[in-house]
Each structure stands twice: as structure tokens, then as C-alpha cells.
Structure 1
Amino acid sequence: MPPTRQKLNDPRIARFRSLKNFDKIIDEKTVRCKCGVIIRLDRPFRTTNFERHIKSKNCILGTDKQQSLYFFFDQNQDSEGETESHECLPCIGLFGDSYTNYATGTPSGYGGGERPEVAGKRLFPEKFPQDIPFSRKKLNKDQIQEFNTTLQATSLWKIDQFEGVIRSAKCTIMTTNLSGLCGECIDLKKNNRLKDALKSRRATPSTTKFIPKFYFNTHLIGLMKNQNLRSLWTCIITNNNDSAMWASLA
């Protein structure tokens, strides 16, 4: 995850930065207190465990207010004018309201590539001549594997539906950028095709029937058709407030 001084307008990270004893984010489920203790979070970006730590005797800042020597000699603090960190950290990918809504609302694990019907007719012209529409049902097991591999190979971005994050298909995984994004994901953020995808209307209960059925081959994708469950899931991954989750569940 990006260092403390990153410039991301994400409320989940902003909550940590509002806590005076917060030092830095190591990754989505690990943070460091100014007392030098590493805290493991129970959920990505959720402050509960961190707040429990700073109120406990395990945090020297929470008892006698004396800062740890670790804080004074930490050389990983970045100046405001720097564009790179001194350490290599995991790329956080693109997340936030529009990205999360898109990631949790799409039935596919990748996007920006060749349309399935176009790829299918190109790969198997003998099965689908110009006057015959593409149908996944007509493919055998090996052809389905070739078809799926082609769709992934031509995609521009990968979709993590569990975390609600979008990453470039060429994401370098690690980065030293203070933004927390690798160069490939920064370029993806500017991509017009992704911008158009974020603006596109998502499927509703009345339009879900028009989505090709092969997207719904997994149990998870089938559950995503439930609008109430999708709303609850979006609430869980975009908030660290238990009351908000239980209010949605009620």
C-alpha cells in the first residue's frame, strides 16, 4: 500500500490519516502506529483494530504520550515535494466510488478488450460464418479455454470483484510512486475506454436477462444478480463502520 503522504481522495485511507498516532499504511490489511507497532487489520482499510491498539497499553503513545525512538529515527518519511517513495510497495490499483461500483457490478473479471462475439467469430470462423451469430454453447471444452484465454490476453484491465479494485492488465504489482499506483495503472486511469465503462449504465434486475449467460457460470456471479446483496457488499467494502453495515442488512 502507499506511504502515509500519498495524495489519494479515498475515505478509507483518510480515516487512518485523521488518527494522530497513525504512521503509514503497509498494505490494505496492515498499518503501522507511530509507536512502531505493526497492526494487522481484520478487514481491508478498517480502522477498528488500529483504534483498539492506540487505546491499549500496547501503544506507548496511548499511555504516557511518549513517542517511540523508532519514530524519530524512521527514515521512510517522505517529503511533500517527492514523487517517489524510498521503498517499493504494492500497487493499490484503482478504487473509490466509481471504480468500486463498476468492479462489484460487472460479471466479468477483465475488461477493455475484444468483444466476446467478435473474438469468437474471429477464432472460429468455420463455426460462425458471417450470417451466424456467435454462441458459446457451440464451443467444446478446448475451444472454450482458447476463447477465454484470448479475451484475457486482449483485455486492458483486470477486475478484482472481491476487493472492488481495477488494475491494468500490465500492472507491475509493486511501485515506488507516492500515489500508490504503478505507471501502468496511472496510464489506465487516463484511458478513455475505462472512463466510458465507468459511465456506462450497469445491469438492473430488468436488464440482467440480456447479459450473455456464460458470464454467470460461477456461483458468486449468480449471487451478484441479487440487488440487495450487491448493495450490502458495496457497503461492506467501502465503509469500516459496523453500524452502516448492520443498517444496510436490516
Structure 2
Amino acid sequence: MGGWKYSKQRLQRHPFVAKVVRAKKVICICGVVIKLNRKYDEDYINHHANGPGCKRNEQKSILCFFNPTTTDKKDDDDVNSDDDWNDWKSEVEDAMDDNDIITVDENEDGINEKENANIEIINPATNQTGRKRKPCLGLRSDLIAKYVDRTPACYGGARRVEIIAKEIYPGKFPHKFTRKKLKPFQKRALNRKIYAESQWRVDKDCIAVRAKECTGYSDSGKTICNECYLLKYNPILAHRLTIPKPAPENLKFTPKFYFENNSLKKHLQNQDLHEIWSVIKDNYDTSIWITLADKATNGAFKEKP
């Protein structure tokens, strides 16, 4: 019975669920997309439906007014459900948007996976006080810290995205690959394949690199798990660590990662700070100090942005 409680079939019969998008995402009958705390758990949809944010008022599902669309294209017959792929990890699902592809530090052609490598890391000293399970620290070093800061990718070690996409959908990209040609469920299928080929995960919170199979704990009596320790000898990762960070003048475009992780983006939502930033950036004739004094006199900085 435990399996039935957290199952897709049970969630599909929920009176307030219009559609089960993925294992951890549903659409309420009021049209709001709800992200669940665990796969097929009803708690968050119940909380939403019983709160003031739900506008259902006994209305019919919004999907009742649309006819299901069908297609006879061969490449559209791919997996359209997370249930059909047992290794589909929830953290990958959480990291991606419905209309996006997960970022990956791609493996370059010509890298021999049989080459010897020995990445220098912080010494994983054995825990002398006991062999109980300890948190895994992942691979850490100054070089790895620079790599984590440089790359916008979430995963690494997979082949180039366009190569994988052309293998899955050979008739969709006769010339150049473009993600605009992929439907949301096709992007999810592509994400699964990218994840399956990935060999490591970039942990930006801990400034470390972890094996894809790392659970976050070490049972070996060391500060890192066996999976992460084996990653120390990965020649592909060793090669990626040697690539320097490009100079700002050599960047053809700025990845979205750098905007999303820039605290200035949050502060510029404040109109007063946005005006001051414009004065500095555009070199207006107006003195920045006069502008600051005027804003301060009017109480613009009494509250945080």
C-alpha cells in the first residue's frame, strides 16, 4: 500500500489535479503549477487547494476545454514520462525548467579516457575517531575552486549536447542543432541522456566537484566517498581543470549563470539604486554624490532593497 500512496495513478485521481506534468510537478485545476516536495506526494497540492491562492471554486479542469493533440512523427514517440526511466534523479528535475536543457561541461574530442590522471585534492584523511557514516566533502582544491567559479555547468563529462540530440532525433536536425526545435518533453528526454552520460556534478554551494553517484555521505571512514575518490583519476575532469578562465574582453556572450548568481541583479530591482547605477555606468554629467545625497535626504535607504 505504501507504493500506491505515492504513485502517479493515485495523484492523477486527485480532485484538484488537472495534469501530472512530472513526478514532482502538477497543474492545479485553477491553472497554477505546483512543485511537490517529493515524487507524487499530495501534501503541497492539498495545501495550495485549501489556501487563498487557489481560485478553483469548484470549476472544471482547464484541460477539459482543450482536445489532446496527437502526432505521427517517429521522433515524437520517445519517452514522455519520468516513470519509464528509473535513474531520473529528482535533483536534475529540480535544476531544469520545463523549456530548458541542463548545462553540461562537455567532453572534447581527442581526450583519451584511458590516460592516467591524478588530480591533486585536499587530503582525504582517515577518520581516526570511528568509522561511522560521515558527510562527503567531494573533491576540493584551489584548482577545483577556480573550475567551479569558471563553469556555468551543473554536470560534466558528457558528449556535446548537439551530438546527443542528433542521435536521439536524427531527422530533426539535418544541418545545425537548435534547441528551439525541441518540444518540452523532448528536452526532458535529452536531459535524461545528458545526465546518463555525465560523470561528475558541480557543487557550487560547497565549491566542490562530486561524482554523479555521490550520495553526500562517506561510509569508508574518509572525508570523501569512494565514488568521489575514483573521480580523482578521471582524465576528462583533469583536462577540464587545466582550462583557464577566459578574459572578459574575450567573452562573446555572458552566460545566464553569471546574471542569475550576481547579487547586483537583486539590488537593481530597487528603483533608487537602479538610477544610481545608471549614473555610474553611463557616465552622466550629474554628480553621483549629489544624487546619493538627494536620495538619502528623501529616505531612500531606510529599508533594504
Equivalent residue, structure 1, for 2:145 = 100
1:78 to 106, 122, 128: 128
SS in 2 for 1:167: strand
Q: Is the 8 A contact 2:152 2:257 kept in 1?
A: no
Equivalent residue, structure 2, for 1:88 = 133
Task: Tell me by how many angstroms 1:114 deviates.
Answer: 1.8
1:52-97 CA-partner distances (Å, limit 9, x unpaired) = xxxxxxxxxxxxxxxxxxxxxxxxx727xxxxx4211011101121
Distance 1:164 1:148, change over 3 A: same
Task: Tell me by how many angstroms 1:125 deviates.
Answer: 0.8
Distance 1:202 1:135 in 2: 26
Letter in 2 for 1:167: R
Equivalent residue, structure 1, for 2:260 = 220
How is 1:1-250 mapped onto 2 (pairs within 5 angstroms)?
9=122, 78=128, 85-129=130-174, 132-209=175-252, 216=256, 219-220=259-260, 223=262
Q: Is the 8 A contact 1:172 1:184 kept in 2?
A: no
Distance 1:88 1:9, change over 3 A: same
SS in 2 for 1:166: strand
Task: Tell me by how many angstroms 1:155 deviates.
Answer: 0.3
Task: Tell me by how many angstroms 1:174 deviates.
Answer: 1.8
Distance 1:207 1:133, change over 3 A: farther
Distance 1:191 1:199 in 2: 13
| Higher RCO (CA 8 Å, separation ≥ 6 residues) | 1
Task: Tell me by how many angstroms 1:169 deviates.
Answer: 0.6
Task: Tell me by how many angstroms 1:217 deviates.
Answer: 7.0
* Count of residues paired in the alignment: 143
Distance 1:203 1:106 in 2: 10
Letter in 2 for 1:105: R
1:189-216 CA-partner distances (Å, limit 9, x unpaired) = 11111100100133332343268xxx63
Task: Tell me by how many angstroms 1:173 deviates.
Answer: 2.6
SS in 2 for 1:209: coil
Whichever structure has more strand as a proportion of its residues is 1
Task: Tell me by how many angstroms 1:218 deviates.
Answer: 8.4
Distance 1:183 1:9 in 2: 15
The RMSD of aligned alpha carbons is 3.0
TM-score by length of 1: 0.50
Distance 1:203 1:137 in 2: 28
Q: Is the 8 A contact 1:112 1:156 kept in 2?
A: yes
Letter in 2 for 1:197: R
Q: Is the 8 A contact 2:122 2:140 kept in 1?
A: no
Distance 1:204 1:192, change over 3 A: same
Q: Is the 8 A contact 1:159 1:167 kept in 2?
A: yes
Task: Tell me by how many angstroms 1:149 deviates.
Answer: 2.2
Task: Tell me by how many angstroms 1:140 deviates.
Answer: 1.8
Distance 1:209 1:147, change over 3 A: farther
5+ unaligned residues in a row in structure 2: which ranges? 1-120, 266-305
